[in-house]
Structure 1
């Protein structure tokens, strides 16, 4: 554990951390080989490291000093809270935010131990109820409020699996001020664990949502994006969906072959502008 991690949570080792991918030092195995282009953000000027929020493991990054910080919940990809998600938290902390990435699979299993995506989806991801996820995000937001975060400036961003969750959370928490959803699935069949999808709650959004999508995403058809645009017009808050022509799914994931620098950088700038406007 790095010194900055100890300073964030000095009694961490005594608690017997039960986290999953948070305990690892690198990327999720199921995500495949890590590309050399992977961005690495240092923790200079930050307090960053694992943190227990009750029984919920999380990774937290924030400026080393300051209070009443705007808070951003960072929602993982299907691979859990691995190094890319931790790095996103540090990037946000460098911008002055208190960033929290709760480990949302920790009750169902450890994604860092799974070597292939089909097994991961079946044995862990499909077992995670949306209601549990939303409650855990509420817990993370409450923890932030009592640990230097500003309750009146709460945002959320998520990627892939977390992009879908970001849409749902924008309809769930009336205290949320802004959301940025990266290529989150918008439509789907209802199930016990996933009773509703973004298209179903589009008219109930309580915070402005920015959706960032790839025109070449084989898993999210453009017609579903257009349906979401139309449905979101019923919401009383601003919703904007940007589609980057030819960009594939996971175009922001700089550690994977799907990474596309130009749309990733453009999307990151849009994220910054969105949070500056609404938080």
Structure 2
């Protein structure tokens, strides 16, 4: 299902996946640089199957010429060019608007983000106080570490993350608090959960998803009902 949310400066398209029960805590699912791709849609389906009401906003909605062919050999290059045109502050405020839409359902809200969305989710969590945050290898984290996230948070990183590189140790030191869980995956590079062969690390992906579902079940249980 697709609908539009009023951001205050325009209507942003968002995609919705409802749990079988029709009710459940909300998850704001934030995309990688490839947009709301087949992969992100699959993760949305996976979360809905767990009992969550999932909303994935089209973060690129303010831009033109953003169509990405996931089979194209220049996919990564083109995606980097698209994301470089994103206004970060607007992306944050748009995501907050999406979170507030979920919060209006009064069933609890969490954020799950991947890569670009992992960093964006961290920023959104710092300014909007969700119940829980799950961030996969947030690409913007090195410049966001002065922000404070109070929500219980789960962070996944590949030990061989070339993109984060030397910043990885600094990130982990900054976010290592008693309420957070941080996991590193030997041999896994950046974007290891993405099923495209160029990125995927099967063992890391499976284990990280198991930890994600367990973390969400503890901090945002699907059977807690309206608050």
Q: TM-score, normalised by structure 2?
A: 0.84
Q: Is the 8 A contact 2:20 2:49 kept in 1?
A: no
The one of 92, 96, 103 aligned to 1:134: 92
Distance in 2 between residues matched to 1:56 and 1:87, nearest whole Å: 21
Say whether residues 1:53 and 2:5 are aligned partners: yes
Matches within 5 A, 1:14-163: 49-54=1-6, 55-67=11-23, 69-113=24-68, 116=74, 117-122=76-81, 124-146=82-104, 149-151=105-107, 153-163=108-118
* 3-state SS in 2 of match to 1:247: coil
Distance in 2 between residues matched to 1:101 and 1:164, nearest whole Å: 15
The one of 103, 114, 136 aligned to 1:182: 136
Structure 1 spans left out of the alignment, 5+ residues: 1-48, 189-196
Aligned to 1:166: 121
* 3-state SS in 1 of match to 2:2: strand
Matches within 5 A, 1:216-231: 216-221=160-165, 223-231=166-174
Computed over aligned residues only, the root mean square deviation of the Cα atoms, in angstroms, reads: 2.0
Q: Is the 8 A contact 1:183 1:250 kept in 2?
A: yes
Could you list the per-position Cα deviations for residues 177-229 of structure 1 after superposition, in whole angstroms to 9, with x for gaps in the alignment? 111111112555xxxxxxxx23232xx112122110111111112x4222122
Could you list the per-position Cα deviations for residues 35-79 of structure 1 after superposition, in whole angstroms to 9, with x for gaps in the alignment? xxxxxxxxxxxxxx2222231111110124333x11111111101
Distance in 1 between residues matched to 2:175 and 2:114, nearest whole Å: 20
Distance in 2 between residues matched to 1:206 and 1:155, nearest whole Å: 13
Aligned residues: 212
* 3-state SS in 2 of match to 1:199: coil
TM-aligned CA distance change 1:186 to 1:120, over 3 Å? closer
- Larger Rg, first or second structure (1 or 2): 1
Distance in 2 between residues matched to 1:53 and 1:110, nearest whole Å: 21
Distance in 2 between residues matched to 1:187 and 1:158, nearest whole Å: 12
Distance in 1 between residues matched to 2:163 and 2:65, nearest whole Å: 25
Structure 2 spans left out of the alignment, 5+ residues: 221-227
Q: Is the 8 A contact 2:28 2:110 kept in 1?
A: yes
